[in-house]
Chains A and B, each alone.
Chain A
Amino acid sequence: MTRQHFWNGSATALVVIGVLWMLTHATSAQTPAAAAGTKSEAAASTPKMPDGKPDLNGTWDNGRSTFGFAANAGNVTTCVFGCQPFGQGGGAAAGPRPGPGRPVYKPEFVSKVKMLDDQQVKLDPALYCKPPGLPRIGPPDKIVQTPGQVVFLYDDLSGAFFRIVPTDGRRHRADVDPTYLGDSVGHWEGDTLVIEATNFNDDSWLGDNGLFHTTNLKVTERLRRTGNTIAYTVTVEDPAVLAAPWAMRPRTLSLTDQELIEPAPCVEKSLEHVLDGTHHDNAR
């Protein structure tokens, strides 16, 4: 990967994030909460936008986007990582969560997946700071919704990413090159936002384990807000290599009143020291 390419992309994304942040605060019908943290799931009714669509605006905790408050004095140990069982006691929330599952490949591609899987430390583009691609990037960390479009913002290990998803009925663009996150268009099916993404390059994996895809990849996401949560599901189709469409493990996103900040730069310099090729699971 070229570092210059990465920085150019990140800089662009951060400018867009800044603009969209202001846009959100000007248009969101959501009431900001006073206290930090994930909002009560029980609180409620599902807010609507002026156009009657469910209001998806907000920062959504999918396990990586919230802030805690560790002790900085006194005889106290803050367990940041390595605590068991994960998720208990608060400080262990950064531990691994269930993976996304894995698709079934056509028989003739099983050996290729195994080869890539065996050499993940050397061959996985995302481990070297390249964009993780869709759907590997996971659910959005923040959603900005205006009439006719939604924008997804991501704080990823590889940097800041965004997707602009028209919901005004337009079709996929025909004037852009293939990308890691593809070209997305959305529509509403009742209260569910359905997004179809196509026009991908093939320089990303679907997951950590050699799960390659082709440029024929098609990803369909569904987001349905109920109260202060969003049910996020993804179906992956790549008939050239997959034996059947793959439904990833569903995720539940929780509304939080915390805000995204500028992600740290991605600078990989550890993998050259890995001696035995052990996998580097990296659930997003």
Chain B
Amino acid sequence: MNLRLVAAAAAFAVATGTQASAHHSVEGAFEPTKRMQLTGVISKVQWTNPHIYLYLDVKDGANVTTWELETIPTAAMRRAGVTMKMLMGGGQTVVVDAYPARDGTKNLAFILRVTYPDGHSYQLYNNPDATR
């Protein structure tokens, strides 16, 4: 069963403005009204359950801040065919749309979408374009 989903599906989500599961603690820990965008290089993927974590090195002048970015479980990623290597992005600069932590923890966020330099992206939670 090929689980590839192309832009049409994302367009559908945008058009309907639909959300992911509402009865879920993502919004208990992360703030959906403060959507943010980060640009950096993924330095590590922690392939664990119940959440995968991406570590994003974000440059600010000479300083580099590493963000801990939480996302969905491995089975969900695997079912869509997204691997650890694909998430890493080969050291390229990526753009991450995310929700910041509600409790004020610095440099912690939940991923909505990761976009790579050639334009391909993985929507991993609510469509960020639909929640603007």
Q: How far is the CB of A4 from chain B (nearest CB, A)?
A: 17
Instruction: Assess A78 versus B24: contact at CB under 8 Å? Given A94-B75, A94-B80.
Output: no
Cα distance A66–B80 when bound, in Å? 9
Cα distance A93–B72 when bound, in Å? 13
Number of interface residues of B (CB under 8 A): 61
- The yes or no answer to B132 lying at the interface (CB within 8 A) is no
Spot the interface stretch: A51-59, A235-243, A262-270: A262-270
A92 and B16 contact, CB distance less than 8 A: no
Task: Convert A37-72 into 0s and 1s, putting 1 for each residue whose CB lies closer than 8 angstroms to a CB of B.
Answer: 110000000000000000000000000111111111
Q: Inside 8 A of B1's CB, which chain A residues have their CB?
A: 36-38, 66, 68, 90, 256
Cα distance A231–B46 when bound, in Å? 36
Q: Inside 8 A of A72's CB, which chain B residues have their CB?
A: 86, 120
Q: Inside 8 A of A280's CB, which chain B residues have their CB?
A: 24-25, 28
Q: Which of B57-94 contact A (CB under 8 A)?
A: 70, 72-82, 86
Beta-carbon nearest neighbor of A64 in chain B: B75
From B18, B24, B49, B72, contact of A266 by CB (8 A): B49
Beta-carbon nearest neighbor of B5 in chain A: A91
A264 and B74 contact, CB distance less than 8 A: yes
Q: Inside 8 A of B103's CB, which chain A residues have their CB?
A: 273, 275
Q: How far is the CB of A276 from chain B (nearest CB, A)?
A: 5
Q: Inside 8 A of A129's CB, which chain B residues have their CB?
A: 50
Instruction: Assess A273 versus B101: contact at CB under 8 Å? Given A36-B1, A71-B4, A80-B123.
Output: yes
Q: Inside 8 A of B74's CB, which chain A residues have their CB?
A: 263-264
Number of interface residues of A (CB under 8 A): 61
A93 and B3 contact, CB distance less than 8 A: yes
B12 and A89 contact, CB distance less than 8 A: yes
From B25, B28, B78, B123, contact of A79 by CB (8 A): B123
Instruction: Assess A277 versus B127: contact at CB under 8 Å? Given A77-B7, A80-B82, A94-B75.
Output: no
Q: Inside 8 A of A275's CB, which chain B residues have their CB?
A: 28-29, 102-103
A83 and B119 contact, CB distance less than 8 A: no
Q: How far is the CB of A92 from chain B (nearest CB, A)?
A: 7
A80 and B76 contact, CB distance less than 8 A: yes
From A38, A68, A264, contact of B80 by CB (8 A): A68
Q: Inside 8 A of B77's CB, which chain A residues have their CB?
A: 80, 94
A65 and B75 contact, CB distance less than 8 A: yes
B81 and A273 contact, CB distance less than 8 A: no
B3 and A69 contact, CB distance less than 8 A: yes
Beta-carbon nearest neighbor of B27 in chain A: A278
Q: Inside 8 A of A269's CB, which chain B residues have their CB?
A: 51
12 of the cross-chain contacts (CB-CB < 8 Å) are A68-B82, A70-B82, A79-B127, A81-B20, A81-B76, A84-B20, A85-B18, A89-B12, A94-B76, A263-B49, A278-B27, A281-B23
